[in-house]
Amino acid sequence: MNRSLLFDLATGAFVAKHEDALFPGPGGTGKSHLAQAIGQAAIQQGYKVLTSNRPVEDWGKLLGDVAAVSSTLDRLLRHGHALECGPRSRRAKTAAPRIMTDQKEGGL
């Protein structure tokens, strides 16, 4: 994860520049947590904040216009910052050894 971008986003400067912040990555990698933390920092600076955890595949239904999704994504990516999260869930990394131990001991 690009820590310097993360700390830069936390300043809220991207909001004043009318830019976006995107957190792509697999489930369980902390995307929602990061979005909420950065949103909270922006709120403390007086900005209004709306986040979404809907997958890109659902955007056509949500926007009511499937054709608009590609142009929306293009604008978001062109004027936005993408903080890639992942590749693997911390939860999955810590759960896997525990599950294997439980299976060996007859727990699962």
| Residue 102 pLDDT | 47
pLDDT reported for residue 79: 78
CB 36 within 8 Å of CB 49: no
The residue ranges of every structural domain in the chain are: 3-104
Evaluate if pTM is beyond 0.95: no
**Three-state secondary structure along the chain?**
CCHHHHHHHHCCHHHHCCCEEECCCCCCCCHHHHHHHHHHHHHHCCCCCCCCCCCHHHHHHHHCCHHHHHHHHHHHHHCEEECCCCCCCHHHHHHHHHHHHHHHCCCC
Residues of the chain with pLDDT under 50: 100, 102-103, 107-108
**pLDDT at residue 43, as a whole number:** 92
13 Cβ contact partners less than 8 Å away, ≥ 6 residues apart = none
pLDDT for res 62: 83
Q: Which CATH architecture has domain 3-104?
A: 3-Layer(aba) Sandwich (3.40)
> Tokens representing 51?
């986040």
What the block records as the tokens of 34 is 């990061």
Q: What is the pLDDT of residue 88?
A: 62
